[in-house]
Structure 1
């Protein structure tokens, strides 16, 4: 496993300690299936390398105390960035998941200044082990990406002003949100589910067998590319489904049917619906049915058992009843819930990925 200054067993124990945040030697012995004497030797090795340190002690039922360990100063930290089109959010954590710093801005042009400030404050936490940047594009394996998409991703990362040589990784933002739901959200008790983002854009993060499905080109869940409309007299158009379900079209229809006062944002439209405005209620109901049609189509392919609604429009609780009704009418039993992680889902998922990358970096360093 490990190809570094620490041995394979030390790498295994280090990974277990990072996953737990803090643990005693007996707890690590159980987690790794190693003997207590072996774990004692390994912990001495990790302490000598600065990768683990004692943080206190705990008393067991018999009254005996055991040393509690946490990651050491050489373990370092990681940075997660949600590089959205209208906002940028950052989250810096230890490899054990402890929050070190977080920030956000609604002015993406100022993201570089914010990134540098977070890295400066984190510089006393050891080396920067990994950076994960969540982007709105498809992140493809080498040799499979579209040149224009790769150029946009490169430009988005470059605009952050990360230091030269920083270990940067990118991931699709909806995939990151799905990872957050799997780790600490609605999907944590489910083997399979789909995170369905409905906002300015639409997308899905597919989790099957507790693993994110990325696909051969990294485009699994890119539901904007579904053939739409699919009718004898109307040929499908690329990305037409996103144009139909995105919030811009939702607001265009709302302004056409309710010109005074015309809602300027999706939030304003839903606020009118909450107040009982009949036109707004009709528009929300129609949109919920359209989202339900998409959810039912996803269920027909992967049968996830759970749909988690997210995104600026999707996480509005007024949308859920119509989606539930439509899925119930068109598909087999599928739970539909609204994400409780909200707008933070993407950066939280990116942080989980960054921790995984950071642990791998420690195990692989020479």
Structure 2
């Protein structure tokens, strides 16, 4: 299905403010919009009329007050449009289409090799009415340089080949923004997960790789190169006297899932039973009391705890949320907390509550925020 690329109409400042409030609220009466936007009731009435004329807002029923009076309820109109969020995960590609009030309109999932197929499936499921405002793609690594003429942020080698496969399915002319997948997951924890209500924290993802999402005063820290939180680049090992010089991303090699499985294969004895082929199998064996598996999980927890201590030493975040395919396993928590307490000052450590969908949840939230801005930034005249 083709999706229109339509420039937002030039709205007055008050109409832009009311649109943004309506998008956050989902639905509201005029008095509610006046209170949320900090505008007078006459100004809101004029703004709502302006939005209705542009099909950016629509009447959706009435609501009764305690005095018995009824008030018209408004929601976003058919021309408000939609956004698309894409999570290019290591195994699966997840896609979600949302209205600008954040409600889910379409979802699709496919193996990584079929990423374009998932994007096309989600686009087909989106309602035909309304323009596609923006697309956010969550990738493993991004740079801060903007691609000329596209609004797109180019991926590094980690994201490039997969993004190239996805880009052929994206509608032409729609602004595309790349965002670090760990940053997206951190946003999900901030708004819907374990860090809700916290102004600052670190989201430490440990799985196939390692990464850190840094939230300060409710905002994700991206850094000068868009690479804040790239823990894989921490120097490791740091033991030049023993002839071991740091090499690129050696820390990620040490803590990542592949190394955990290599250590398991090296340490496993015939008497321990079949050697686990996946980290899920390893943690399941540890949960059932396997001594060999528990020893490996304990060592992994100590490694993650040392990484958390490095995070605490630099950021002093007060809270670290553990996520990722191995990091989120509750069996790690006691060991991580103990090692962090041994090496650093008191820092709360909790497991992710959003879980595996967190990257897509955060990417969708970013896409909605950007989509709303494409409408509200079109304010072109003073009231």
1:25 to 7, 30, 48: 30
Question: Aligned residue for 1:159?
Answer: 165
Question: Aligned residue for 2:102?
Answer: 97
Question: Aligned residue for 1:185?
Answer: 193
The SS at the match of 2:276 is coil
8 Å CA contact 1:4–1:363 kept in 2: the answer is: no
How many pairs align?
361
How far did 1:225 drift?
A: 0.7
The SS at the match of 1:16 is helix
Question: Aligned residue for 1:59?
Answer: 64
How far did 1:152 drift?
A: 5.8
Question: Aligned residue for 2:376?
Answer: 363
1:255 matches 2:265: yes
1:108 matches 2:112: yes
1:41 to 46, 58, 68: 46
Deviations for 1:34-77, whole angstroms, at most 9, x for unmatched residues? 01111011101101110011112222222222221111000011
Distance 2:158 2:358 in 1: 22
1:214 to 207, 219, 222: 222
1:203 matches 2:211: yes
TM-score with structure 1 setting the length: 0.94
Q: Given the superposition, is the C-alpha separation of residues 202 and 4 from structure 1 closer, same or farther in structure 2, using an over 3 Å criterion? A: same
How far did 1:20 drift?
A: 1.2
The SS at the match of 2:247 is coil
> What do you get for the CA RMSD once the two structures are aligned?
1.9
8 Å CA contact 2:268–2:275 kept in 1: the answer is: yes
Question: Aligned residue for 1:134?
Answer: 138
2:55 to 27, 46, 50: 50
1:173 matches 2:181: yes
Question: Aligned residue for 1:87?
Answer: 92
Question: Aligned residue for 1:70?
Answer: 75
Q: Given the superposition, is the C-alpha separation of residues 286 and 153 from structure 1 closer, same or farther in structure 2, using an over 3 Å criterion? A: closer
Q: Given the superposition, is the C-alpha separation of residues 150 and 249 from structure 1 closer, same or farther in structure 2, using an over 3 Å criterion? A: closer
Q: Given the superposition, is the C-alpha separation of residues 274 and 139 from structure 1 closer, same or farther in structure 2, using an over 3 Å criterion? A: same
The SS at the match of 1:97 is coil
Question: Aligned residue for 2:357?
Answer: 344
How far did 1:123 drift?
A: 4.1
**5+ long unaligned stretches in structure 2:** 1-6, 148-152
Question: Aligned residue for 2:308?
Answer: 295
The SS at the match of 1:276 is coil
Deviations for 1:65-116, whole angstroms, at most 9, x for unmatched residues? 22211110000111100012311001111000111111212x2232222222
8 Å CA contact 1:82–1:173 kept in 2: the answer is: yes
1:240 to 233, 245, 250: 250
Distance 1:154 1:356 in 2: 25
8 Å CA contact 2:206–2:323 kept in 1: the answer is: yes
How far did 1:21 drift?
A: 1.2
Question: Aligned residue for 2:4?
Answer: none
Distance 1:185 1:354 in 2: 18
Q: Given the superposition, is the C-alpha separation of residues 180 and 11 from structure 1 closer, same or farther in structure 2, using an over 3 Å criterion? A: same
TM-score with structure 2 setting the length: 0.90
How far did 1:154 drift?
A: 4.9
8 Å CA contact 2:142–2:154 kept in 1: the answer is: no
